[in-house]
A and B are shown apart, each in its own frame.
Chain A
Amino acid sequence: MKGEKKFCFCIVLFTGILISVMASMMRLGGRINFKEFMSAGKVYDFSSAVLKKSSAGWLYQPEEREYLLMANKATKRYKLNGKEQAWEFLYLTVDKMSAPSMEGVIRYYGKNKEKRFEHPVQISEGENLILLNPEIPMTHMAVQILNAKGESLSISSMQIRTTPSWYTREHFIKLFVAGFCAVSMLFFLFSMLKRKFFRKAKKCWDWYCLVDILQYGFQLFGDYFGSWIGGKLSNVQKRYARKFLYSLLFAWMVIGNVLNWTGQAESFRYYLAVCAILFLLAAFVSWEKELDKVCWKNPLAQSWLLLWLGTMVSDFFVPKEMGLAGSMLFFIGTFFMFSWQNMEYPYRMFRDIIDSLEIIFFAGIIYCMLFRTKMPAIDYNGLFRNPEDFSMYAVLMLCMFLDEMDNLLKRDLPEKGELYYYIKYITGGAAAFYFVLRCGHLPGLAASVTACAFFFVKQFKNGMLFDRKILKIFGHIGMGISAAALSVSIIHISTKTLPIVLDLEVTYKGEQLLTGVSDEVWEGLLELEPEGLQGVIRKSDMEQFTVWRNYIRRWNLFGHSDGMVRVFRNKVQPYSGYLSISHRYGMFILVPYATCQLFLIFFSGKMAYGDKTRAKDKTYESLTGRGVFLVFLLGISYVIFCVSGNVDMPWGHPFCFCFYAAVGYMGGIIGTEKGQA
Chain B
Amino acid sequence: MGRTVKWSIKTSMCFLFGLISCVILTVMYLAQSINIECFYDVGDIYNVRKLAYAYAGNNWLCDSTTEEINITEDIANKMFAVEVQKKNWNYLYLDLENLPKETVWEVQVLNQAFEAAGTIQQEMRNGINILELPEQEVYGINFVVSGEKGLTFSLKKIQFRERIKMFGLEEFFPAFAVISFLFLLGCFFVRGIWRKRRISRGTRAGQWIGDVQKFYAYLLEKGSKVQNLFAPYSIPKARTCLFFLCFLLIYLMVAYRWRWKFAAQNQMVLLIGICILLIGFLSWEGKKPFAYWKKPLVAAWFALWLFCMVSEFFVEKTFRNIGIFMLLSVTPFYFSWNQMENPTELIRDLKRALGWFYWASCIFCIVCRPLTAGVRYMGSFNNPNTFAGFLATANLVFLDNLGQGFQKSPKGKKKKKLQLINGTAGVASIFFFLQLTQSVTGIGVFVLECMIFLLRLFLNRKQGGHGKRLLKLVGAALLSSVLIFTLGRWCLVNVANLLHTVVHLPGDFYQIASNKGFFTFAAYAANDELPVLNRIVQKLSGNNYTVLLSGRDVVWDVYVRQLNLLGHEKWMEIWEGRMHAHNNLLQMMYDYGVFVALPYLATVYYSLRYSLENFFQNQEFSLFVFGAVVNYHVAGIAEDVSSPYAFASWLVYYLVIGSLFIKQADKKM
Contact = CB atoms under 8 A, between A and B. Distances in A.
Interface of A: 204, 209, 212-213, 216-217, 220-221, 223-224, 228, 269-270, 273, 316-319, 324
Contacts of A319: 262
A554 to B, nearest CB: 18
Given A217-B215, A220-B211, A273-B313, A209 B222 contact: yes
A213 B218 contact: yes
A433 to B, nearest CB: 40
B314 interface: yes
Contacts of B270: 316
Interface residues of B, number: 19
B214 A220 contact: yes
Interface string B297-316: 00000000000000001110
Interface in B216-271: 218-219, 222, 225, 262-263, 266-267, 270
Contacts of B215: 216-217, 220
A319 B267 CA distance: 13
Given A224-B207, A228-B204, A316-B263, A270 B314 contact: yes
A316 B266 contact: yes
6 contacts: A213-B219, A220-B211, A316-B270, A317-B262, A317-B266, A318-B262
Contact of A324 (B207, B211, B225, B313): B313
B189 interface: no
A204 B225 CA distance: 8
Nearest to A323: B316
Given A220-B211, A223-B211, 17 more contacts: A204-B225, A213-B219, A216-B215, A217-B215, A220-B214, A220-B215, A221-B211, A224-B207, A224-B208, A224-B211, A228-B204, A269-B313, A269-B314, A270-B314, A273-B313, A273-B314, A324-B313
Contacts of A270: 314
A223 B214 CA distance: 13
B58 to A, nearest CB: 39
B313 A216 contact: no
A158 B501 CA distance: 55
Nearest to B269: A316
Interface of B: 204, 207-208, 211-212, 214-215, 218-219, 222, 225, 262-263, 266-267, 270, 313-315
Contact of A212 (B208, B222, B315): B222
A315 to B, nearest CB: 9
Contacts of B208: 224
Contacts of B263: 316-318
A180 to B, nearest CB: 30
A319 B263 CA distance: 8
B188 to A, nearest CB: 27
B261 to A, nearest CB: 10
Contacts of A221: 211
Nearest to A223: B211
Contacts of A269: 313-315
List the 8 closest A-B pairs by CB distance, nearest first.
A220-B211, A319-B262, A317-B263, A316-B266, A269-B314, A216-B218, A217-B215, A220-B215
Nearest to A227: B204
B60 to A, nearest CB: 42
B289 to A, nearest CB: 13
A269 B315 CA distance: 8
Nearest to A561: B262
Which of B225, B313, B315 gathers most chain A CB within 10 Å? B313
B386 to A, nearest CB: 25
Contacts of B313: 269, 273, 324
Contacts of B219: 213
A273 B266 CA distance: 23
Nearest to A217: B215
B79 to A, nearest CB: 33
Given A317-B263, A318-B263, A213 B314 contact: no
A216 B263 CA distance: 30
Contacts of A212: 222
A314 to B, nearest CB: 11
Contacts of B314: 269-270, 273
Contacts of A316: 263, 266-267, 270
A11 B314 CA distance: 35
A213 B222 contact: yes
A331 to B, nearest CB: 11
Nearest to B328: A217
Contacts of B222: 209, 212-213
A220 B218 CA distance: 11
